[in-house]
């Protein structure tokens, strides 16, 4: 894929810049702008530089609904997208709100991830902004996609449907990676009472699951299965 350069999209010159190395890059962090899909990189840059008083646009790259990739600060310039993670993390922003991400946008973000790993010569951790900062970013739609491993779109079966088939039945007492995914989704749905992402499927998680099930109009039994995963991920058929 081609990357639209700063010169091509009319970027302002940065006030200053600090670089890092690939050895210090350990994660790839997905964001959304939480604005209209008609936003331009220059508008976002103006806001960051004029309102936030940052040195430049905060992200390393940006992607729009058509899958076009825009150079932000670039591969090895320290960003301003996630406190304490700007040196370790490459920040990529989808231009749009929750639910706006298209297959083309996801394909472009995944291409950036693969290219970053190629340049590093190793694997970067896949993160949503909310994994490293107290925020709703990058929205439930993109966050679920990141948690699913950022699968490439267009493989014949909808990525969400494919993911649903792989998710296990979870109930009180369960542990492991899928429980961490469940806890992350519950935290994203404003259930801080369950505690941190790391932990078991305990009574607090069960109570939060029942609350989500009641909200979603499915059987309220505290068991996370085919009916409840879609509600947690806000999938509407």
90: pLDDT strictly greater than 80? yes
Predicted model pTM: 0.68
154: pLDDT strictly greater than 50? no
Angle at CA of residue 44, ends 10 and 130, nearest 5°: 135
Same domain, 105 and 204: no
At 236, the pLDDT band (50, 70, 90 cuts) reads: very low
> Residue 55 gets which letter from DSSP?
S
Alpha helices in the chain (DSSP H): 6-9, 41-46, 103-120, 129-132, 139-147, 159-166, 177-188, 203-216, 228-232
**In the listed set 101, 119, 147, which residue is the last one of a domain according to the structure?**
147
Tell me the residue length of the chain.
237
Q: Comparing 127 with 159, which gets the higher pLDDT?
A: 127
Same domain, 23 and 81: yes
Same domain, 85 and 128: yes
Give the total number of structural domains in the chain: 2
235: pLDDT strictly greater than 90? no
- Which residue range is the domain that position 176 belongs to? 167-232
Placement of tokens 């990739």 in the chain: 69
Angle at CA of residue 166, ends 161 and 171, nearest 5°: 115
Asked, for residue 68, whether it belongs to a domain, the answer is: yes
């Amino acid at each position: 894929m081609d990357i639209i350069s700063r010169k091509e999209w009319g970027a302002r010159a940065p006030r200053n810049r600090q670089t890092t190395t690939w050895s210090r890059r350990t994660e790839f962090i997905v964001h959304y702008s939480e604005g209209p899909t008609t936003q331009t990189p220059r508008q976002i840059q103006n806001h960051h530089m004029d309102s936030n008083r940052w040195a430049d646009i905060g992200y390393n790259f940006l992607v729009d609904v058509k899958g076009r990739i825009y150079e932000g600060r670039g591969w090895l310039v320290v960003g301003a997208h996630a406190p304490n993670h700007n040196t370790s993390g490459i920040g990529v922003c989808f231009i749009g709100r929750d639910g706006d991400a298209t297959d083309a946008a996801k394909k472009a973000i995944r291409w950036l991830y693969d290219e970053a790993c190629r340049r590093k010569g190793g694997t970067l951790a896949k993160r949503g902004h909310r994994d490293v900062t107290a925020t709703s970013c990058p929205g439930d739609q993109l966050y679920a996609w990141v948690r699913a491993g950022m699968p490439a779109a267009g493989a014949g079966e909808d990525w969400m449907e494919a993911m649903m088939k792989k998710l296990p039945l979870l109930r009180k007492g369960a542990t492991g990676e899928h429980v961490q995914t469940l806890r992350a989704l519950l935290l994203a749905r404003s259930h801080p009472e369950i505690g941190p992402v790391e932990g078991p499927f305990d009574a607090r998680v069960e109570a939060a699951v029942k609350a989500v099930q009641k909200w979603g109009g499915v059987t309220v039994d505290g068991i996370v299965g085919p009916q409840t995963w879609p509600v947690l991920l806000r999938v509407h058929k």
